[in-house]
């Protein structure tokens, strides 16, 4: 698990090998960063989806920013926080709260 503001997201997985769940929730795009403790990952983007399997991560409008931040595509990782009972409004509020706190470069 990787924690963001008291929320336990899944362990980071390489996006190129990731199998998205058929569930609603938030996702954190991260890149390796050895200066971050205890998990060496820096968040570069937070997003939310009603069904992550339909989100289209390979054509995401911020994908080029993720690659730029990661240096290469294989350095892009994803962690998820499944929220199947959350409303779209509830997911959006949590996403905005995390963006305000962490200020990910690709959410600008």
**Counting beta carbons within 10 angstroms of the beta carbon of residue 80, is it exposed (0 to 12), middle (13 to 18) or buried (19 or more)?**
buried
Taking the alpha carbons at both ends of the chain, their separation in whole angstroms is: 26
Task: Evaluate whether 33 touches 23 at the Cβ level (below 8 Å).
Answer: no
Q: Which residues of the chain have pLDDT under 50?
A: none
Peptide bond just before 15 cis, omega within 30 deg = no
Q: For 59-90, how does the pLDDT look when each residue is reduced to its tens digit (9 = 90+)?
A: 899 999 999 999 999 999 999 999 988 899 99
**Counting beta carbons within 10 angstroms of the beta carbon of residue 85, is it exposed (0 to 12), middle (13 to 18) or buried (19 or more)?**
exposed
Look at residue 59 in the predicted model and tell me its pLDDT.
Answer: 87
Look at residue 55 in the predicted model and tell me its pLDDT.
Answer: 78
Look at residue 49 in the predicted model and tell me its pLDDT.
Answer: 94
Peptide bond just before 58 cis, omega within 30 deg = no
Cα Rg of the chain (Å, integer): 13
Say which DSSP state 70 is in.
Answer: H
Domains of the chain: 2-107 (3.40.1440.10)
């Amino acid at each position: 698990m990787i924690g963001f503001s008291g929320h336990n997201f899944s362990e980071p997985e390489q996006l190129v090998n990731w199998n998205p769940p058929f569930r609603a929730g938030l996702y954190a795009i991260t890149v390796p960063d050895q200066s971050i403790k205890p998990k060496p990952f820096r968040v570069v983007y937070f997003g939310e989806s009603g069904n992550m399997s339909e989100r289209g991560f390979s054509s995401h409008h911020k994908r080029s920013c993720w690659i730029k931040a990661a240096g290469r595509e294989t350095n892009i990782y994803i962690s998820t926080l499944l929220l199947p009972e959350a409303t779209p409004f509830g997911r959006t509020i949590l996403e905005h709260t995390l963006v305000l706190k962490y200020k990910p470069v690709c959410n600008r």
